[in-house]
Structure formats: structure tokens, C-alpha cells
Structure 1
Amino acid sequence: MTLEIHGISAIDALRIYVGDELFARLRSRRHLYTALPGGALLLMFHVQRAGAGRQWPVCVYLDREKMLLFTD
């Protein structure tokens, strides 16, 4: 399964994929994981490349069948 979303942030892409109700469980945008119904897991964290001043949000959705990665 390939999901391509252009022109929006990783956070917005994840919100679209999991829906507003589940996304509301994300209380912090720094580092987070939360269990979802059915055994799925939602992760959100920031990465920074060596020497770069900017951090990029990374959002990961995992369930028994797929792993989706959203990043800016």
C-alpha cells in the first residue's frame, strides 16, 4: 500500500489517515506513542540531521498489516 500526500505537513497527513478522534490522543508534538484500538500503535517524534538547525516531524502508524511513515 502506498499513500502519497503532497503539500501538507506530516502531522496533517497523519490526522487525515487516522481521523480527528484518534489524532486527539496526541497530547504532545515532541515525542509520543499511544496505543490505538485493535492493537495499532501511533508514534510521533522529531529528527535532526547532523549540522542542520531544523527538526523534521516524523509520524509513524503501525498495525498488524502495515507501517506508514509520514514526514515533511
Structure 2
Amino acid sequence: MRRWIQEAVKRPGRLRRYVARVYGQEGFTQRGTIRVEVLREIAKRKDSLGRAARLALTLRGLRGEA
């Protein structure tokens, strides 16, 4: 099986840095993951940051959390 997830993430960590810069501590849960509400809000964007948020939501769904 190919490593499609690693290839899909072009710039690791930039979504976390963006959330920390714009939303601060309120953008994260106690466990340190990005809040789903914040991800859904960012996913509405049409740029590559929105694409990264949509991928994060997809990966959360694969894990069974969304």
C-alpha cells in the first residue's frame, strides 16, 4: 500500500501553527488536537489551508472521531 497520507500532507504543522496564531489556546482541545468546529470553519476556505483542514477532517473521520 502506498503512503498516500504522508504524500498528501505537503507542509506538516502549518495548520496547527495557523490555529495557534489566529485562535490561540481556544482552538485546541485538552488533548492538544484542533477543535472540530475550528477545522470546519477553516475548511470553508478555498485556498490550500482549507484543503489541509478538509484533509484533517477526513483523517479524523478515518480514526472515528468526527
TM-score by length of 2: 0.32
Larger strand proportion, structure 1 or 2? 1
Larger helix proportion, structure 1 or 2? 2
Pick the structure with greater CA Rg.
1
- Determine which structure has greater relative contact order: mean sequence separation of CA pairs < 8 Å that are 6+ residues apart, divided by chain length: 1
TM-score by length of 1: 0.30
